Structure 1
Amino acid sequence: MNRLANATSPYLLQHADNPVDWYQWGDEAFAEARRRDVPLLISIGYAACHWCHVMAHESFEDEAIAALMNEKYVCVKVDREERPDVDAVYMAATQAMTGGGGWPMTVFATPEGKPFQAGTYYPPVARHGLPSFRQLLVAVDRAWGDIRDDVVRAGDGLVAELAHNARIVAGADGVPDAGVLGGAVGVLLREFDAERGGFGGAPKFPPSMTLEQLLRHHARTGDVDALAMVLRTCEAMARGGIYDQLGGGFARYSVDNAWVVPHFEKMLYDNALLLRAYLHLRRATGDAVALRVVGQTADWMLRELWLGGAGGGFASSLDADTDGVEGKFYAWDADQLVDVLGEEDGAWAAEVFNVTAEGTFEHGLSVLQLLQEPDDVGRFERVRGRLFEARRDQRTAPGRDDKVVAAWNGLAVAALAEAGALTGRPELVAAARQTAEMLERVHWDDKAGRLTRTSRDGVAGSQNPGVLEDYANVAEGLLALYGVTGEPRWFAFAGRLLDVVLDEFRDESGLFYDTAADAEALIFRPADPTDNASPAGTSAAAGALLTYAALTGSGRHREAAEQALRFTGALAEKAPRFAGWGLAVAEAVADGPREVAIVGEWGAGTSGTSNGAGTDKGERTAQGDGTDAAGSADESPSSQAFRALHQIVFASNAPGLVIAVTPPVGTAAGESLPELLSGRPTINGEPAAYVCRGFVCQTPTTVLSELAVQLR
């Protein structure tokens, strides 16, 4: 009996009709393995994973292979996005045994869950140096029968080693200082691909957190090399095939080293992180390409991932495949362009989008690129719009994984709130606010004081408790939303989440674990401080704790933030690309961080936007290129002045800028306010800004030009 039919995970539901007798992760599977005295076969993947689909079709849908799996093993299917803790421990085991890892992940374990054999994708017949999956199933079964004592001993030893390695970070160094931060940029400069942008070779991943680190480093030090690496990388990605030139949004990674052909799946976390990085690049430089990417990526998130309805929030991802073919939705040839656009516009579009006769992808198809700006912008927008509509109406859209992941929605809240404030689009702030409301309503159990990691259709996944990255990224998003809207409920909610972080995820030495102290016991308690596709729970916690400490003056939160960064220095010297967010937070520590309190009165229902917000889809920025920060004509002069101060602060590039804002008129009474606002009166009845740094505050000001100077 396949037990996945009642799963909440779309990935597990994809396997509900397999002839494999799948179990979900849990006590039932372990008990059955002990009863039958057979190993566990743990298969881990996620809904948008192309090779997960391939292995499912080749092996898990094969009656003969499924029969062998059912006879010899208790088979467990895990969605890594629902259970990152389970994924983390078995990924560590897979990497230790094989030197690499990825998904689908295939792990054989004792009935107690201790791994003794692991790998990733296995084909149905032996090829490319890999045994067939059937051969592997037979060989592992034979080893379990013939040399079980050796197998169990090997599993025990591996688990002990992994548990020991997880605690090594407890003795790591302190917060990276200015010398270490500069050294990390030097390492990145040596690894930088000056011709194509990015770091390393193929496959090449968008370095979203490293971009943020470099932007903060440039803002703090003026380092021109740091900014140049960001500019080159962001432009190359925005012009390449990894970016959807018709619909916006970034694919997971590029299979080549020049951003031409993506692995087509699109993830919420990638796009939230990149949206924020491009937004901050726009803020720092006024770059026009960055502004285009910000607007289009935000539009893509709202159009393709926004769930609306009773649940709300953002879905997790879009598949790489359509009708079983990778990239089918996105690739074109010249004839297809002509079919949609006609001869003249079709030929022009082929040139503009670099659609070649031989193709840049497979089967003579090309992934659209925009290697340079078109001369005729109006024509380009018309052509782009017609291609977008044709693709939407005539092609089957990729499948969507519609489960809500708390951590990734926290990243979306931060990105959209800031983007709405900086580009004058109130609908982005509204989406951030609605997502925060959903997280509080659906994912937060106020009675238990705990956060659930996933939900679907407005129902929390009770078997998926929040891990450190969930608490930390949601707190980060809430604090960003508070800085935009001034609504104290988000500051208070973030405080509740961070209380759990300090009480349940940290031990007496200051080490942060990825799972809570009372969470399900796994083969070891994971504590990975390295940033990968998204911020590590440890570095995300460091950032949120640092911001909260600046708002409240809490030494406990500041000390915990600095403890969370202890391992970052070691990574900075050896592998800074795996510490991007940790180093970005360390840049904020080195800068102070800069703390700004804005006091005064602003009108009800107008928080987080500037005058005329949204009317020009992103041209109203804090760069002085169209922003009328004074507010609408029906606002009071005091409210207009307050809003002008608010916009100047958001225009600042100060690393890790922390903003405390007087609540808007009409905010519910009794809400707790940040200590940063305490004792900060208006000046002669006029709204004022107080800028502090390194425990020293400057003279409060009501003058925009003076405030801009203080923020430099």
Structure 2
Amino acid sequence: MPNHLAHETSPYLLQHADNPVDWRPWSDEAFEEARRRGVPVLLSVGYSSCHWCHVMAHESFEDEATAAYLNEHFVSVKVDREERPDVDAVYMEAVQAATGQGGWPMTVFLTPDAEPFYFGTYFPPAPRHGMPAFRQVLEGVRTAWTDRREEVRDVAGRIVQDLAARTGIGLGPGAPQPPGTEDLHAALMGLTREFDAMRGGFGGAPKFPPSMALEFLLRHHARTGSEGALQMVSATCEAMARGGIYDQLGGGFARYAVDATWTVPHFEKMLYDNALLGRVYAHLWRATGSDLARRIALETAEFLVREMRTEQGGFASALDADSDDGTGRHVEGAYYVWTPGQLREVLGEDDAEFAAGYFGVTEDGTFEKGASVLQLPDGAQPVQAERVASVRRRLLAARERRARPGRDDKIVAAWNGLAVAALAETGAYFDRPDLIEAATEAADLLVRIHMDQHGRLARTSLDGTAGGHAGVLEDYADAAEGFLALSAVTGEGVWVEFAGLLLDTVLRHFTAEDGTLFDTADDAEALIRRPQDPTDNAAPSGWTAAAGALLSYAAVTGSTRHREAAERALAVVRALGARVPRFIGWGLAVAEAALDGPREVAVVGPDGDPATRALHRAALLGTAPGAVVAVGEPGSEEVPLLLDRPLLEGRPAAYVCRHFTCDAPTADADALAAKLGG
């Protein structure tokens, strides 16, 4: 019999709708039920492509005896962290403070007033590696709640007080100042110290794609000419592209590598990673002309459109790491890995031997049970382009006959905003109008389904229906970023208007008087504290993403209010950039743009005129950090940057400005490119 999750819109919650555990969604009703019965709440937080979430579900939540014990002694609440990042954030902070680590599934026990008192992540069904069995944990919590309830409530109250004391990130005395040249140089030195010169990336295992830090380094190189910054980007991007973290057959990146060499990934594929990384490779091509960067940017964009696009024109959240291995077992990586024997079955002896050498498939394997993750190891056989293309085509066709990983079709506003920006720019750089069209359709979905007439966003949708949870700061910021990038590419000013609506909501409902930003709106559901975090995680923080969108919007419209809000928000980057540059990379990238201007490029000319197109392309390919671009017919009034910008002696012209003060216009695309670092 279905539990209380049967009518939810989250695919992750629906995966648990038939569990014998009487799950409830996060709701007032769940906590009212706990108060009525006088029992604690089990809060379990995960997401649909989380491998260990699936493991714990199979071992414990599908077990009838465990479920019966939970149903008798607890109210059980299941949360999709992608749908409710606010709930995830406040309780993850408590887990990390109490245990020194975090992760998913997150397992927290709460009082009926939602105050946490016992924490963990994955618990096995039997004691293992020093971890207690889940049933032992349940029994221990139940005993403490029954025998020492007031003591438990006191502990929970102290934890909430401690969390409350952490709230409120101040920007120091005096007027908040964004980072200056010395601050950004100090951040560069910090990244240089942490750079893995042998294998690319930063730090050791597990190794995550450093998308935001790479964007900062590209912009720093563009502003200062630092070859060291560019070398770190190039080396990291090549190592990832050659490694197992990149899908050598179908394109797209896995979430992270479990090792320091990018060889074995955790196989789930996330929308945000691929949007961010696709944009990084496109920007690396723009800076260097690298053939590898061009290939990876295009393959990643094509992966997004082929594998992640939904019927409604948006982009799904994730692909699972696990899939059926052909024997009925759900196994991580089963869709992606190969043995030499499997290569021979598909390719025959000669091509299998060639493919094994080219992709690093060995008898011993690089993964489990003699299987290998495809990569392009150093010393791979010389490229035979036609043969490689044939091998890839046949292996991909064979792989598509395997059981596919599950897909989380939930549309997340923030991550679709990132995808819009990546696809629009990639389509423009490489003359792929199909990618620009895909970006436009996703942006249209955000407006039609997620956005109301007051500029308020729903966090998620599924099958064309908006979910019931309010958008958080990253949704507004990343959607605005996507709209502004799309306007720059298409010349359609309406996207600037939509970005303005979202950013006005940011200023009205997410911004404190001192310029600090909160992750939830001032009228959002009250949790045990209001989450606020300026540091990047897997995607840019809402705080610094908002700073970037505010800065770009101000550059396109001339709005002093939005410019000042961006600069106040960037003050936190000055405080953190030198200390933790890996974790505030997007803020550093935005600070580079602010320091450079950013430059504002207005291109005026008849639509379809080859000279207009040439100037527009030169503007888009300029590497000046965070430069904004507007293009339109002479006399266009849709975008303020285009106002009072006449043709040059009757010819299409481009104006390069800072703070709406412009250099002399040019009709020469090469001269424009030189001005913008193209």
What amino acid is aligned across from residue 655 of structure 2 in structure 1? Y
Counterpart among 199, 202, 211 of residue 199 in structure 1: 202
Mapped partners of 2:676, 2:607: distance in 1: 22
1:334 — aligned with what?
340
2:654 — aligned with what?
689
| 2:221 paired with 1:249 | no
| 2:534 paired with 1:525 | no
Task: After the TM superposition, list the runs of 4 or more consecutive aligned residues in structure 1 that deviate by more than 6 angstroms.
Answer: none
Counterpart among 422, 425, 450 of residue 432 in structure 2: 425
2:362 — aligned with what?
356
SS at match of 1:403: strand
SS at match of 2:571: coil
What is the alpha-carbon root mean square deviation over aligned residues? 1.4
2:302 — aligned with what?
299
Task: Write the mapping of 1:267-306 to structure 2, written as runs, cut at 5 A.
Answer: 267-306=270-309
Check conservation: 2:56, 2:123, Cα contact below 8 A: yes
Displacement of 1:147 in angstroms is: 2.2
Counterpart among 467, 470, 477 of residue 465 in structure 1: 470
Residues 305-364 of structure 1 show CA distances to partners (whole Å, capped at 9, x for unaligned) of: 0113xx220000000000210000000010100100000000110000000111000000
Task: Write the mapping of 1:13-412 to structure 2, written as runs, cut at 5 A.
Answer: 13-171=14-172, 174-308=177-311, 311-323=312-324, 324-371=330-377, 374-393=382-401, 395-412=402-419
| 2:551 paired with 1:551 | no
1:707 — aligned with what?
672
TM-score normalised by structure 1 residue count:
0.92
Displacement of 1:166 in angstroms is: 2.4
2:625 — aligned with what?
655
1:438 — aligned with what?
445
Counterpart among 638, 645, 652 of residue 680 in structure 1: 645
Mapped partners of 1:77, 1:174: distance in 2: 42
Check conservation: 2:169, 2:516, Cα contact below 8 A: no
Task: Write the mapping of 1:587-626 to structure 2, written as runs, cut at 5 A.
Answer: 587-603=592-608
| 2:491 paired with 1:486 | yes
What amino acid is aligned across from residue 575 of structure 2 in structure 1? A
Displacement of 1:664 in angstroms is: 10
Residues 474-517 of structure 1 show CA distances to partners (whole Å, capped at 9, x for unaligned) of: 00000000000010111110010111010011122212111111
Mapped partners of 1:664, 1:333: distance in 2: 61
Mapped partners of 1:692, 1:587: distance in 2: 17
SS at match of 2:124: coil
Displacement of 1:97 in angstroms is: 0.9
| 2:548 paired with 1:583 | no
SS at match of 1:565: helix
Counterpart among 550, 574, 577 of residue 572 in structure 1: 577
- Percent identity of the aligned residues? 62
Mapped partners of 1:300, 1:582: distance in 2: 28
What amino acid is aligned across from residue 401 of structure 1 in structure 2? D
1:499 — aligned with what?
504
Mapped partners of 2:637, 2:139: distance in 1: 62
What amino acid is aligned across from residue 456 of structure 1 in structure 2? L
SS at match of 2:108: strand
SS at match of 1:205: coil
Displacement of 1:426 in angstroms is: 0.3
Check conservation: 2:313, 2:438, Cα contact below 8 A: no
TM-score normalised by structure 2 residue count:
0.97
Check conservation: 1:551, 1:676, Cα contact below 8 A: yes
Residues 12-55 of structure 1 show CA distances to partners (whole Å, capped at 9, x for unaligned) of: 11111111010011111010011011111100000000000000
SS at match of 1:542: helix
What amino acid is aligned across from residue 598 of structure 1 in structure 2? V
Check conservation: 1:33, 1:111, Cα contact below 8 A: yes
1:607 — aligned with what?
none
2:543 — aligned with what?
538
Displacement of 1:693 in angstroms is: 2.7
Check conservation: 2:115, 2:157, Cα contact below 8 A: yes
Aligned residues: 667
Displacement of 1:449 in angstroms is: 3.3
What amino acid is aligned across from residue 705 of structure 1 in structure 2? D
Mapped partners of 2:213, 2:271: distance in 1: 18
What amino acid is aligned across from residue 702 of structure 1 in structure 2? A
Mapped partners of 1:130, 1:281: distance in 2: 45
Mapped partners of 1:343, 1:49: distance in 2: 37
Check conservation: 2:634, 2:647, Cα contact below 8 A: no
Check conservation: 1:486, 1:663, Cα contact below 8 A: no
What amino acid is aligned across from residue 352 of structure 1 in structure 2? Y
Displacement of 1:370 in angstroms is: 1.2
1:632 — aligned with what?
none
Residues 431-460 of structure 1 show CA distances to partners (whole Å, capped at 9, x for unaligned) of: 0001111111111111x4311010011000
Gaps of 5+ in 2: 325-329
Residues 145-180 of structure 1 show CA distances to partners (whole Å, capped at 9, x for unaligned) of: 222222222222222222221203443863111111
SS at match of 1:342: helix
Mapped partners of 2:142, 2:371: distance in 1: 44
1:616 — aligned with what?
none
Residues 605-647 of structure 1 show CA distances to partners (whole Å, capped at 9, x for unaligned) of: xxxxxxxxxxxxxxxxxxxxxxxxxxxxxxxxxx111000001
Mapped partners of 2:660, 2:308: distance in 1: 42
Displacement of 1:694 in angstroms is: 5.5
Mapped partners of 1:403, 1:574: distance in 2: 36
Mapped partners of 1:266, 1:484: distance in 2: 27
Which shifted more, 164-173 or 231-240?
164-173
What amino acid is aligned across from residue 493 of structure 1 in structure 2? F
Check conservation: 2:12, 2:80, Cα contact below 8 A: yes
Mapped partners of 2:346, 2:633: distance in 1: 52
Mapped partners of 1:429, 1:37: distance in 2: 55
Query: Cα gap change, 1:271/1:364 in structure 2, threshold over 3 Å: closer, same or farther?
Result: same
Check conservation: 1:487, 1:664, Cα contact below 8 A: no
Check conservation: 2:604, 2:634, Cα contact below 8 A: no
Residues 379-400 of structure 1 show CA distances to partners (whole Å, capped at 9, x for unaligned) of: 000101000001012x101000
Mapped partners of 1:574, 1:108: distance in 2: 34
Query: Cα gap change, 1:700/1:532 in structure 2, threshold over 3 Å: closer, same or farther?
Result: same
What amino acid is aligned across from residue 641 of structure 1 in structure 2? A
Mapped partners of 2:112, 2:637: distance in 1: 50
Displacement of 1:663 in angstroms is: 5.5
Check conservation: 1:125, 1:131, Cα contact below 8 A: yes
Mapped partners of 1:209, 1:547: distance in 2: 17
Mapped partners of 2:69, 2:138: distance in 1: 8
SS at match of 2:119: strand
SS at match of 2:104: coil
Which shifted more, 265-274 or 295-304?
295-304
| 2:515 paired with 1:510 | yes
SS at match of 1:206: coil
What amino acid is aligned across from residue 620 of structure 2 in structure 1? F
1:610 — aligned with what?
none
Mapped partners of 2:368, 2:633: distance in 1: 55
What amino acid is aligned across from residue 632 of structure 2 in structure 1? T
Mapped partners of 1:58, 1:643: distance in 2: 59
